Amino acid sequence: MGNRLWTDPPIPRGATDVTYPIRGLAWIFVLVGAWLPTVASAQVTINMSRVTCADYLAMTPEQSDVFGAWIGGYFNQKTGYTWIDLGAQKRNVANIKAWCATSPREFVMTGISRAAGTAAFQGDPNKALVKVDMSRITCQQFIDYAYDQQVTIGAWMSGYYNASRNIDTLDITRYKANSKRVSNYCKRHRRETLMATIEKVAR
C-alpha cells in the first residue's frame, strides 16, 4: 500500500501537451490514480486557481477532499504554518461550501485568499482538539498510512510546495517524477521527515 501514491498518473494516448479543464475531469484530483494510458512525453497541467465554486460543488467527496488538501497546503505555506487544526478545517470546508452555493461562478482560491490570513480560518494551535503538524510526518509513518491518507497528504504537500514557488498550476508530469524520487528516497531513509525528503529530492 505504501507505494501506491507514487504510481504514474494517467495521460491520454497520443497527447503531447494537455491542459485539462476542470469540469468533467475532476477525477484527476486523486492526482495519481492511474486511470489512463501513460505517454512519457505528455505535459498535463491543471490551473487550480481557475476551479470555480460550481466545479468544486460538483466533485465527489473523495475529489473534494483531495482538492481541499491541495488548497490547504497551498494556503498553509502562504500564511507560514505547517500544522492543521482539524476542527477549523472542518468549519472552513462547511463555510466554503455555503459560500460557493451562493456564488457558483466565483473561483474557489479567490474566495479562500480573502479569509486565509484570519485567526478563525487558521484555528488556534493551543486550543485545537486535534492538531496535525505536517512537518513532523516521517517517511515510515507515511508508508504505514492507508492509501487514501497517502493521497491526501501527497496533495497537501503538492499544494504547499507549489505555493513556495508561487505556482498555482498543478503539473502532473512534474508531480509524478517528484513522487518517484520521494518514494525511492523514503524507502531508504525511513526516519527522515517527508517534508525534508521532498526538499532534498524534488525538482
Q: In angstroms, rounded to a whole number, what is the distance separating the alpha carbons of residues 75 and 111?
A: 12
What is the number of other CB atoms lying within 10 angstroms of the CB of residue 119?
Answer: 8
Q: What is the pLDDT of residue 122?
A: 57
Digits of tens for pLDDT over the chain (203 positions)? 333 333 333 333 333 344 433 333 333 444 333 323 333 445 578 889 999 999 999 988 888 888 888 998 998 898 888 887 777 777 878 888 999 999 999 999 998 888 766 655 555 556 555 567 889 999 999 999 888 788 888 888 999 999 999 999 888 888 888 888 998 999 999 999 999 999 999 88
Q: In angstroms, rounded to a whole number, what is the distance separating the alpha carbons of residues 34 and 28?
A: 9
Buried b (16+ CB within 10 A) or exposed e, 72-96: bbbbbbbeebbebbeebbeebeeeb
Q: Can you tell me whether residue 45 is helix, strand or coil? A: strand
Q: In angstroms, rounded to a whole number, what is the distance separating the alpha carbons of residues 28 and 66?
A: 10
Residue 178 phi/psi, 5-degree rounding, is -65, -35
Structural contact between residues 198 and 179, judged by C-beta atoms closer than 8 angstroms: no
Q: What is the pTM of this model?
A: 0.74
What is the residue type of 120? A
Q: What is the pLDDT of residue 24?
A: 33
Q: Can you tell me whether residue 171 is helix, strand or coil? A: strand
Pairing of strands 83-85, 44-47: unpaired
Domain-wise residue ranges, the chain: 4-201
- Burial label for 1, CB within 10 Å (0-12, 13-18, 19+), is exposed
Q: What is the pLDDT of residue 124?
A: 58
Please choose, from the candidates 140, 119, 134, the residue with its C-alpha nearest in 3D space to the C-alpha of residue 2: 140
Structural contact between residues 38 and 14, judged by C-beta atoms closer than 8 angstroms: no
Q: What is the pLDDT of residue 36?
A: 33
Question: Any residues with CB less than 8 A from the CB of 24 and at least 6 apart, and which?
Answer: none
Structural contact between residues 85 and 122, judged by C-beta atoms closer than 8 angstroms: yes
